[in-house]
Amino acid sequence: MNDRYRFPGLRGGPGRRPRAALVSLVAAGAVLLLFGLGGCTQEPSGAYVPVVAPVPVSAAEFAKLTQATTFTSIPAAARDRYPLEVTDGVVMHPLTAQVIYLGPGEKPVGVLPATELGGPTWVPVVASTPGWIQVLLPSRPDRSTGWIYDNGTASTDLEVRVSPYLIQIEVGARKLSVYESGVSLGTWTVAVGAAGTPTPTGRTFLLALLAPPHPTYSPLILPLGTHSDALSSFGGGPGTVGLHGWPDPAVFGQAVSNGCVRVPATALRILSKIPLGTLVLITS
């Protein structure tokens, strides 16, 4: 998926790790979505904030921490404080499994693995403070977040990039829109969750891109980092909500799914080219 990223203001090919980009790009305004930056907190200009050291975690303690995946639950994780705000597009990939903390200097609550559903883990950054970044998690409860220590050294633990894309879903209007750097790439009428199995709202992200070997209803499925509020499991899985196609166009504009968003073929093709970790904002 790395070749699908675009990096305004960044230099270097895939694999180069722009560690300073998290603060410098945002501060310089190199990537600004036209919808605002309310989801990412920044320290006041010129204010010195000391870096808080992480709580040490031994190898034995690390092994006991829950992996943050779409199949797991981390009840102790902090909830997203701004679930309806757009971020600045910064996304992060842990090159090695990273400890998730409740907050800077606070207790560890889980581990973010380097891979999810057979592909690389990419998650959106929703806040930062010196030495730390806060990311959305793919695990239950929905809107879970975690803080990851990032001291800005030349280590190879994290890869930070910028996605210029934003996906917006309006459940009530049954519309899906895709934007690149604030420019609309299209709006489509879609099918959303039925009354008993509604599509969950809040901000989430593209978790994976799956191509079923024997597709039935869709050639591609894009799981999101969110789950059904009504179903604890579905079809043998954990009730993960996703974006996918549907063979019968009569469903578009209807509230008929089990929580997933069914999209037309044109929209699915565009969505399949968007990098993992990209923010998906679902509103009522």
CB 264 within 8 A of CB 252: yes
Q: What is the pLDDT of residue 48?
A: 75
CB 87 within 8 A of CB 279: yes
Of residues 91, 234, 61, 75, the one with CA closest to residue 139: 75
| Cα–Cα distance, 96 to 74 (Å, whole number) | 20
Q: What is the pLDDT of residue 251?
A: 98
Instruction: Residue 175: count other Cβ atoms within 10 Å of its Cβ.
Output: 15
| Cα–Cα distance, 87 to 103 (Å, whole number) | 19
pLDDT tens-place values along the chain, 284 residues long: 333 333 232 222 223 333 333 333 333 332 222 222 233 444 455 567 789 999 999 999 999 999 999 999 999 999 999 999 999 999 999 999 999 999 999 999 999 999 999 999 999 999 999 999 999 999 999 999 999 999 775 456 999 999 999 999 999 999 999 999 999 999 999 999 999 999 999 999 999 999 999 999 999 999 999 999 877 767 768 999 999 999 999 999 999 999 999 999 999 999 999 999 999 999 99
| Cα–Cα distance, 217 to 60 (Å, whole number) | 44
Q: What is the pLDDT of residue 73?
A: 97
Q: What is the pLDDT of residue 155?
A: 57
What CA–CA distances, in Å, run from 186 to 166, 167, 177, 255?
12, 10, 6, 21
Q: What is the pLDDT of residue 74?
A: 98
Give the pairing type, strands 144-149 and 261-262: unpaired
Which residues have C-beta within 8 Å of that of residue 151, sequence separation ≥ 6? 51, 131
The pair of three-digit structure tokens given for residue 156, joined into one six-digit string? 């190879």
Chosen CATH of 165-283 out of 2.40.440.10, 3.30.70.260, 3.90.1640.20, 3.30.70.2190: 2.40.440.10
The pair of three-digit structure tokens given for residue 25, joined into one six-digit string? 């790009």
SS (H, E, C) the chain: CHHHCCCCCCCCCCCCCCCCHHHHHHHHCCCCCCCCCCCCCCCCCCCCCCCCCCCCCCHHHHHHCCECCCCCECCCCEECCCCCCCCCCEEEEECCCEEEECCCCCCEEEEECCEECCEECCEEEEEEECCEEEEECCCECCCEEEEEECCCCCCCCEEEEECCEEEEEECCCCEEEEEECCEEEEEEECEEECCCCCCCCEEEEECCCECCCCCCCCCCEEEEEEECCCCCCECCECCEEEEECCCCHHHCCCEEECCCEECCHHHHHHHCCCCCCCEEEEEC
CB 24 within 8 A of CB 11: no
Name the β-bridge partners of 222: 243
pTM summary value = 0.83
Q: What is the pLDDT of residue 214?
A: 94
> What are the boundaries of each domain within the chain?
2-162, 165-283
Give the pairing type, strands 240-244 and 261-262: parallel
**Tokens 């093709």 found at:** 269
Q: What is the pLDDT of residue 262?
A: 98
Which residues have C-beta within 8 Å of that of residue 224, sequence separation ≥ 6? 204, 205, 206, 207, 240, 241, 242, 243, 280
Q: What is the pLDDT of residue 137?
A: 98
Residue 63: phi and psi, rounded to 5, are -65, -25
